[in-house]
Amino acid sequence: MPPEPPTDSASQFERGLKTAGFLLGPALALAVYAWNPGGHPPEARRLLAIVTLTVVWWMTEALPLAATAVLSSALAIATGVAPVRQVLAPYADPVIFLFMGSFFLAEAFRKYGLDVRVARAILSVRTFAGSPRGLVAGFGVASATVSSFLSNTATAALFTPVATGTLDARAGGSDDARRRLDTAVLLAVAYGASIGGLATIIGTPPNLLVAGFLERMAGVRVTFTGWLLFGLPLSALLLVMVVLGLANIRDVIAFPKTTSAQDLMTGAPSAVSDAQLRELKLRTEA
């Protein structure tokens, strides 16, 4: 279901918060500048005031977050905190371009439905679709695979409706067994999305930040292949441990497999189509 529109009271509160933050930010920045806690030199004193303004505006969203971030850099230049080249140099850091490349790749995956096709290809394997244990493993593997190139949140948003639709199609078993299977599959989606982000350097933003810090502070340059050689085995090991732990929840393995579930995952006439998967994903993201 689409999210409900905010009520008038909520909208008024949000507008009031933004207005208060917009006025409070400069006031606090001037107060901090006048107080100068710690007795900082002039440049650091001005920088502390800019940081105060930025934090207040970020917390209250007086301006869009990105606009506040760019404004803080402009203020640092205008107030003489640092030269232009020094302030703007981080914007041209290779890690930033790697961020951009990973975002472009993720958007291309979503735009052309490649994430849905990869997910369906993995989940259509009969080994995964034929038993409850295979179902848990299939969703874990599929979630981890897609998450190695997309963000964890986007991956979870893609697989959650697919998982719930698959579980609803399975018949038989006690209510307790069904509940345990539901828990195992949905946890496999969540854990797989987090674990898959470790596999590649673009799997999740913290990986890129760590690579950037290592290069700047330790002089160690981490390549995509270098990270893959370290991250992929670690992700695979963690995924195996998670799948084995979830698949051995009591009563889950004893849950009976059914034709409808098999058809749903293997592309038989009753299977969910690519368009339906994409529609489910979009409804979840909304």
How far is residue 114 from each of residues 75, 111, 122, 126, measured CA to CA in Å?
42, 8, 12, 21
Q: Which of 57-71, 123-137, 143-157 has the highest mean pLDDT?
A: 57-71
Residue 92, Cα to own-chain centre: how many angstroms? Answer: 24
How many Å apart are CA 155 and CA 148, to the nearest integer?
Answer: 9
Q: 12-18 long-range CB contacts below 8 Å, 24 or more apart?
A: 17/60, 17/61, 18/60, 18/61, 18/62
pLDDT one-digit tens code per residue, 133-192: 888 888 898 889 888 887 787 788 778 877 887 777 665 566 777 788 888 889 999 999
Is residue 55 predicted with pLDDT exceeding 80? yes
Asked whether 150 and 227 are in contact (CB, 8 A), the reply is no
Q: Is residue 164 exposed (0-12), middle (13-18) or buried (19+ Cβ within 10 Å)? A: middle
Q: Which parts of 79-169 fold into alpha helices (H)?
A: 84-88, 94-111, 114-123, 126-129, 132-147, 152-168
How many Å apart are CA 7 and CA 61, to the nearest integer?
Answer: 19
Confidence of residue 53 (pLDDT cuts 50, 70, 90): very high
pTM of the model: 0.58
Q: Concatenated DSSP letters for 11-27? A: HHHHHHHHHHHHHHHHH
How does DSSP classify residue 197? T
User: What angle, rounded to 10 degrees, do the helices at 8-35 and 42-60 form?
Assistant: 170
**If you average pLDDT over residues 227-255, what whole number do you get?**
80
- Residue 246's nearest CA partner among 175, 193, 191, 196 is 191
